[in-house]
Amino acid sequence: MIRPIKIFLYFLLISLLVMLLDQWLERAGVSVPQYISELQKSGAIDSTAGLMVTEAEELTLDSLLWTEADTLEESDSLPRKKTRLFVSDSVLTAPPLFQELFATFCRKAQDADSTRNLIRVMHLGDSQIEADRITSILRSHFQKLYGGSGPGFIMPVDPLRINANVMLSNSGNWKLSYSYRKESYPLPVHYGFSGKAAWFNDSIGSLTITPIAWKSNQIRKHPQLQLLVTPPPDTSSLKTFIDGEEWHDTIKGSPGQLKLLRYQAALYPKKISFHFEGDVSPIIHGITLDNPHGVAVDNIPMRGRPWPGFRIASNNMLQQMARELNVGFLILQFGTNVLPTKTDNYNFYRIHFLRELRLIRKLLPEVPVLVIGVQAAAESENGEMVAMEHAQLISEAQKAATLACDMAFFDLHKTMGGTKGAIEWSNQSPSLMLSDRMHFSKSGARIVGDRIWAALDSLRSNLLPPSP
């Protein structure tokens, strides 16, 4: 039997050897990343503890240890063209391929109003863009330049009350499902860009959309309505009422096939109602409220998410939505939910983000993608505001993944003035940050939207000849 004193000495010796080995490795210039140590302590295989992440998105320990092994293949590397990188005030970096795709989008948008076509900009993000913050500013700029109106994409069920542009009411037992939450649903769901889908449990369900009186004419003007559904196994019926006019539709077909039901209304519709009936509800992926020509700009927030979740959506549904809605430009804004995860190395996040961007580039190779980096942030320590210095590391991880996929990167962290930007913005009057020092106030969101637009407009001016 080993005596306690010998056990103690044994562990003391092991600890001493570990300390000596660590010092030797440090002198030799070899370091073990802190996030690996944290993984070993927690027993986890990914540094996404605390983030809203599904099992399908988790990385193995081998993936986290990748460095150069995870770079793109030769065919996917940055194009070797004479076109230079476009850098605007060091906050917008646009690789050559993005410049080409963005120029094509701008030309299509420029002609959309006169040719009676509609091209769509999708702004996907975390809670930073909820209630149309930032997106509303971009929408205003896009539609002022290219024409268009209406709030764009909305979900038919809004339990978090994050929709800011129309009033929604539901009758019946409605459910909203998420691609990134573990819940059980009666039907297999093919998720699209929003990562959400809605249906009702009973045989009857209805929803009503009415305008918000104090919203601008630009938002309330949406004479074109589109309902995005996939049919149930059995046929269901739909009655649509728009300001007294009535339509009857039968929803049937392949359960995985996206169907668009399109309706024309008055310029400023006052009441829109959908009444569904059937043994099984169709799956409703969203509703678009637009002008039939110009540019539509969608606000699609995903509270709690660190990235869009393209990997857990349906590839086929993403492509169908992009084609049917004529998506011409994609803006991604994430990172807020990674800020509470503090480490010295965000390689795990770079890999996650890279895989998201790789997939959407593969599925939509002709669509330009702009990534807006994480903002500067601060937190309270002993009653004082302290900058979250690791926000810059998160931004750098996002930028590395973005440029590896020939997409454009807007450095929001640098735009705010760097590490102490959130503190400086908080001290403005009125404050440009909310009390959590992570989210922008209404005034702050307006400044951010204007600066993003200024960078994009500068790029547009450099790519296209002046308008006659």
pLDDT tens string 92-102: 999 999 999 99
The beta strand positions in 291-341, using DSSP E, are: 294-301, 327-333
Report, in angstroms and rounded to the nearest whole number, the Rg of the chain calculated over CA atoms: 25
What digits encode the pLDDT tens for the residues 216-272?
Answer: 999 999 999 999 999 988 888 999 999 989 999 999 888 778 999 999 999 999 999
Other beta carbons within 10 angstroms of residue 429's beta carbon come to 6
User: Which of the four pLDDT bands, split at 50, 70 and 90, describes residue 83?
Assistant: low
Residue 192 DSSP SS3: coil
- Average of pLDDT values for 118-126? 98
Q: Which of 298, 400, 396 is nearest to 358 (CA)?
A: 400
- Residue at 361 is within a domain: yes
- Rounded CA-CA distance 103/464 in Å is 7
- Rounded CA-CA distance 379/356 in Å is 29
- Residue at 118 is within a domain: yes
Q: Give the whole-number percent of the chain exceeding pLDDT 70.
A: 81
User: Which of the four pLDDT bands, split at 50, 70 and 90, describes residue 161?
Assistant: confident
CATH number of the domain that residue 387 is part of: 3.40.50.1110
pLDDT of amino acid 382:
87
Residue 27 DSSP SS3: helix
135 and 168 within one domain: no
- Residue at 8 is within a domain: no
Q: Which residue has the higher pLDDT, 203 or 417?
A: 417
Q: Give the up-direction half-sphere exposure of residue 300: CA atoms within 13 A in the CB hemisphere.
A: 27
Residue after which a domain boundary falls, among 276, 291, 306: 291
Residue after which a domain boundary falls, among 263, 291, 319: 291
Residue 29 scores a pLDDT above 50: no
Paired strand residues for 29: none
300 and 268 within one domain: no
435 and 324 within one domain: yes
CATH number of the domain that residue 281 is part of: 2.60.120.1360
C-alpha pair distances (Å), 169 with each of 39, 157, 195, 385, 440: 45, 8, 21, 41, 28
308 and 281 within one domain: no
Residue 80 scores a pLDDT above 60: no
- Average of pLDDT values for 153-172? 93
- Average of pLDDT values for 434-455? 97
Other beta carbons within 10 angstroms of residue 262's beta carbon come to 11
Judged on CB neighbours under 10 Å (0-12, 13-18, 19+), 434 is middle
309 and 269 within one domain: no
- Residue at 456 is within a domain: yes
Residue 110 scores a pLDDT above 90: yes
pLDDT of amino acid 86:
65
Q: How many domains does the chain have?
A: 2
Range of the domain at 422: 37-148+293-463
- pTM: predicted TM-score of the whole model, two decimal places: 0.85
Judged on CB neighbours under 10 Å (0-12, 13-18, 19+), 43 is exposed
- Residue at 15 is within a domain: no
* Token reading at 91: 């906050």
Q: Which of 395, 446, 444 is nearest to 419 (CA)?
A: 395
Residue after which a domain boundary falls, among 262, 291, 320: 291
The beta strand positions in 2-148, using DSSP E, are: 86-88, 92-94, 118-125
Residue 32 scores a pLDDT above 50: no
- Average of pLDDT values for 354-380? 97
- Residue at 27 is within a domain: no
pLDDT of amino acid 31:
35
Mean pLDDT value across the chain: 86
Q: Which of 104, 131, 142, 86 is nearest to 452 (CA)?
A: 142
User: Which of the four pLDDT bands, split at 50, 70 and 90, describes residue 320?
Assistant: very high
178 and 129 within one domain: no
pLDDT of amino acid 229:
95
- Residue at 3 is within a domain: no
Residue 297 scores a pLDDT above 90: yes
- Average of pLDDT values for 429-437? 95
Residue listed under structure tokens 């065919």: 75
Q: Which residue has the higher pLDDT, 45 or 239?
A: 239
- Rounded CA-CA distance 301/238 in Å is 28
User: Which of the four pLDDT bands, split at 50, 70 and 90, describes residue 111?
Assistant: very high
What digits encode the pLDDT tens for the residues 47-58?
Answer: 666 677 777 777
Q: Which residue has the higher pLDDT, 163 or 135?
A: 135
pLDDT of amino acid 131:
94
409 and 341 within one domain: yes
Q: How far does CA 170 lie from the centroid of its chain?
A: 26
